[in-house]
Amino acid sequence: MSPSQPTVLVVDDEPAQRDLLSYNLESSGFRVIEAADGEEALMLLAEDSPDLVVLDWMLPSVSGIEVCRQIKSRAETRNLPIIMISARADEGDRVRGLETGADDYVTKPYSVAELMARVRSQLRRTRPATVGETLEFEDIILDAESYKVFRAEKPLKLGPTEFRLLSTFMEKPGRVWSREQLLDRVWGRDIYVDTRTVDVHIGRLRKALCQHGGEDPVRTVRGAGYALG
């Protein structure tokens, strides 16, 4: 039982660099999608919903700086963390990358171990459950590292899917998630699941959260989806 696997988009035109990054990310438990240039990266962003982008500055067709600018200019991807990688080590280049919207800037050559730490640091901010953080909402505590959930200090029994649903809700309390978004986040795009399955597991989550009493914290938003609180 674990939180849903975070997805990292690796954008680099050098196959050896992509392979190195992908291997280390997958070994660290991340799902990886790859793009060889800026145009492909923007296309994949529209098709998939990555949780973080590792982006090379020097790319054919559309530069990494332009990809970064476009990501940060769109409301739906504005909060997507970007780690920019570049051989440009000058302070001016670093400042330009960060001012364009990059959340972190790593110069080549870099330590793979350090880069993995930076990836986890960014995900700790946007998807804390995936890196073992403890989440709290009202009287509910979710310990992502030990996969335990408590409400009013009493342990709750949740199935794996219900745990992933709850971790998704608790990462962004108040956000309304559509059934399709929950399918992508909790089940993944590689698995076909009918949207009605979401309703079934939401029902199981509600029952689990109220097994010791208390009000149902999961809110149904008619025509839109579900939210916590």
pLDDT score for 91: 84
Show the tokens assigned to 23.
């291997």
- Rama region for 61: left / alpha / beta (φ>0; ψ in -120 to 50; rest): left
Report the alpha-carbon distance of residue 152 to residue 180 in Å, rounded.
Answer: 31
| pLDDT tens-digit map of 102-135 | 999 999 888 999 999 999 999 988 888 877 889 9
pLDDT score for 193: 76
**Which residues of the chain have a pLDDT value below 70?**
1-4, 189-191
With b meaning 16 or more CB within 10 Å and e meaning fewer, what string describes 147-183?
eebebeeeebebeebbbbbbbbbbbeeeeebebebbb
pLDDT score for 71: 95
Show the tokens assigned to 177.
């998630």
pLDDT score for 1: 38
Domains and CATH numbers, the chain: 7-129 (3.40.50.2300), 132-228 (1.10.10.10)
Report the alpha-carbon distance of residue 223 to residue 107 in Å, rounded.
Answer: 46
